[in-house]
Amino acid sequence: MEVLSGIVAHYNQWITVFLMVSGLYIVVARGNMVKKLVGLGLFQTSVYLLYISPGKILGGTAPILDPAYTTYSNPLPHVLILTAIVVGVATLALGLALVVRINEAYGTIEEDEIFDRDGAA
């Protein structure tokens, strides 16, 4: 039981770590530029859990004040992550725009092929 509750207590963190590592793996390992950006998105998204999880109080409620409740989860991480989401989508939009331009300039979005073409040019 002790072990089980230990796993339960840290389950969020294990999954967070797994998501983050997978995202990072995609970014580093794959040559396709769109897929890299998807991986980057996973990598950034997993950070949300890292921030939000410690703010949760079991039995608490969302931080919208109401006389009916007394325990609220911590609002500060929510604010930070709202900012992080915005930064993430801004980066994604810019990255995708670059990919479109790269595709126009090189005719491909695979990094390896681009390196080949630059070598030849």
**Region 19-78 residues binding another protein, contact defined as CB under 8 A:** 19-45, 47-58, 60-66, 71-78
- Report in angstroms how near the CB of residue 63 gets to another protein at its nearest: 4
Question: What 3 state SS string does 6-26 have?
Answer: HHHHHHHHHHHHHHHHHHHHH
- Report in angstroms how near the CB of residue 76 gets to another protein at its nearest: 5
Do 45 and 20 contact (CB within 8 A), yes or no?
no
66 CB-near residues (< 8 Å, 6+ apart): none
Nearer of residues 3 and 89 to another protein, judged by Cβ:
89
**Which residues, numbered 76-95, are part of the site for another protein (CB under 8 A)?**
76-95
Q: Is residue 116 within the footprint of another protein (CB under 8 A)?
A: no
- Report in angstroms how near the CB of residue 3 gets to another protein at its nearest: 14
Residues contacting another protein: total by CB under 8 A: 101
- C-alpha distances (whole Å) from 113 to each of 25, 78, 104, 105, 116 are 21, 42, 14, 12, 5
